[in-house]
Structures are given as structure tokens and as C-alpha cells.
Amino acid sequence: MAEDVTVIFGSLQECLKSLRDHEVQTNTRYAVGYSSKGFGKRSTGSNIVNKKRVQWLNGKPFISLGFKVYFCHHGKNYRPNHNSRSPKEHGYSKGERVHAQQTKKLGCPAKVLIKEGIMLPNSHNVLTSKQKKTVARQVRANVDAGTKGFLLRLPSIEDHSFHVTGKEAGLTQPIDKELIDAIVQFIDEGVYDSPSMKQHLEQYVLRCHPAILPTNRRFYPTIRTIQNHMHKALRIKFPNGEHKVKVKGSRQRAEGSKRKHRTGVTKKKDHSTKHQTKVKPPTQWNPKVNIDGTMIQQHYIDDTADHEDEVVQCPPDDEQDF
């Protein structure tokens, strides 16, 4: 198994950017597991530092102020009853989708560790325990000389288990925050149609991340995912419900097609004229003829007539074509 990679950064933004680049390169995804209180915002005063223990990083002193742990998004399920479903009384369920797997948590042990602390520059490597005690007292006495930094420890790809890795791993990843921000930007520019939004996002990814494969759902989300984030952004932009008029029919067309497939019609039937007898005129004149050659007279009720018993006669004989 390969060793974990440890990198030190001067700011939390640089640390998180390196973590995201690692996710894109290895086609992995991590979610926040837990963190210490006030992570990233702790002060470096002597009254706080003196209570912390001096740790050692590659033989150099390091005072930890806090930490944050990220788990693989296929890691352990800490909420086993969150998505559990009670057994049905009958052998069927109405209006619910059957999930073959109720959660994507598979117990992957891979995790990322970020530590916030104070590091002393130009400090020599310390090996023995006696030297460590001496240097630790010097570090506490010269806390102001240290600089605040962030330690990032990344797992190797061999640390992941119980799920696929590589190109196939992109099929299970959620949408990237960069694309969510791009959706908000395109909506501000007037893109309200989800097919057009998908086309804009694909062009954006090809321009900014040309090496990413189209099978990666993190940068090539489905149309349904795009619609969900579009409606979320539109509800924020139009809190009074104007976004329902702005969206140009992608979801409405999908719902209409489902309703047509289910009932055979796309609109509700008008029952206001349910008990009225109406016969529409034929679109083409196609008379019926007896055996002796005489025509059977046909008629239909004219809806525009003043009385229901008025009958509109057939066309004159000179217009008949036998």
C-alpha cells in the first residue's frame, strides 16, 4: 500500500484547492466527516497555544490548533436509519420508486486529514525524546516567531476499497460546486431552458477542463440534476414565483409526456358539454350509394343553428363525384 502524501500550505484556501485538484485527478470525492470547533478561525495567542501539545512533523515541531477530517463519499454509513424504509403491509407500493441499493455508503476507509497549527521556520530535525522536550520548551517561549499553516494528508488510490475506482468512479459523483455557480451565472444571463443550460455547461467544461471524460457526472451532470439546480437558483432569484413563467418547458414537457403515456391525453377533458349531442361534419365528402345507384342521404347537426332540430342538407347534385 502506498504511503499517504503530506503537504503544508500557508492558507486554508490553498489547502482546499489542492484537495479538489486531487479529487479531479484521481476521480474521487470526499465529504466532511467532522471538525474541531472554530477550525480555520483559531487565534495564535500564547494563552491558547500554551494549552496545546507540541507535536512533531518529520522531526520538526508543530502545534496543532484544530483539525478537519474528510471521508470518501463511499465511506461508512453513520446514519443507517436515515434512508431505511419500513416494510409494506402489501407486496406493492404505489407511487414509489424501488431502490435496489438504498445508500451509496459502502464502508470505504479512505480519508483526508487537514490540521491547522503553528510551525516554526528554520527548525532542525529532532530525533531523541530529550531533545524534543528541550525544543518544546523553546517553542512555547517563542510562539510569536512561528507562522500559521495547514497540513494536508492525502490518501493513495490503494486506500480506497469496496467500490470502483478510475474512470467508472465518475458515474456516481454528484455535481461539482463550480458547475452550480456556473448555472447561477447563466441564469443571470437569461438562460432558462434546461437543454440550453446543458449545452452551455458542456461548452464551459470543454473550455476549462478539456481532459475530463464525459462519463464523469461531476462535470457532465444529467438533465434532471441540471433542472433541480436551475429551479433552486430561480426560486432564490424570483421568490414570488415568477420563475415558473421563466422556465421554458423542459420539466413541463417531461411531465406532459408522462401524462400522455399514462392516460393517452395531455390535457384534462372538458366536461362542461358532457350531455350535449354534437356531431362534427365530415372532413371529406364520401357519400354512401345503394345497390341501384341511388345515394343514401346523410346529414349532420349544425352547432351554429338556432334550433337543434334544424338539419343541414347534403351538397347539391352537381358537386357530387361518383
Taking the C-alpha atoms of 145, 124, 114 and 219 in order, what is their torsion angle to the nearest 10 degrees?
110
Nearest residue to 73 via CA among 36, 110, 101, 24: 110
CA-based end-to-end distance of the chain: 91
pLDDT of residue 300: 46
pLDDT of residue 42: 73
pLDDT of residue 307: 46
The three-state secondary structure class of 70 is strand
pLDDT tens digit sequence for 177-202: 999 999 999 999 988 889 999 999 99
pLDDT band at 313 (very low <50, low <70, confident <90, very high): very low
Statement: residue 215 has pLDDT above 80:
yes
| 114 Cβ contact list (under 8 Å, min separation 6) | 12, 15, 19, 67, 68, 69, 70, 150, 151, 152, 153
pLDDT tens digit sequence for 26-36: 999 999 999 98
Q: What is the mean pLDDT of the chain?
A: 75
pLDDT of residue 127: 66
4: cell is 499517504
Spatial distance between the Cα atoms of 26 and 216, rounded to a whole number of angstroms: 12
From the CA atom positions of the chain, what is the Rg in Å? 35
Nearest residue to 110 via CA among 199, 19, 234, 21: 19
pLDDT tens digit sequence for 35-63: 988 888 776 665 566 667 777 777 778 88
The runs of H, that is alpha helices, within the chain are 12-26, 46-49, 129-141, 177-188, 194-208, 223-237, 243-246, 250-263
pLDDT tens digit sequence for 219-272: 999 999 999 999 999 888 888 776 665 555 545 555 555 555 555 555 555 555
Q: What is the DSSP letter of 89?
A: S
Q: Which residues of 149-176 are buried (b: 16+ CB within 10 A; e: fewer)?
A: bbbbebbeeebbeebebeeebbeebebb
Statement: residue 104 has pLDDT above 90:
no
Domain ranges of the chain: 5-77+104-168, 170-263
Integer angstrom CA distances of residue 65 from 18, 115, 122, 164, 241: 21, 8, 20, 36, 46
> Residue range 279-303: average pLDDT?
55
- The number of residues in the chain equals 322
> Residue range 95-123: average pLDDT?
78
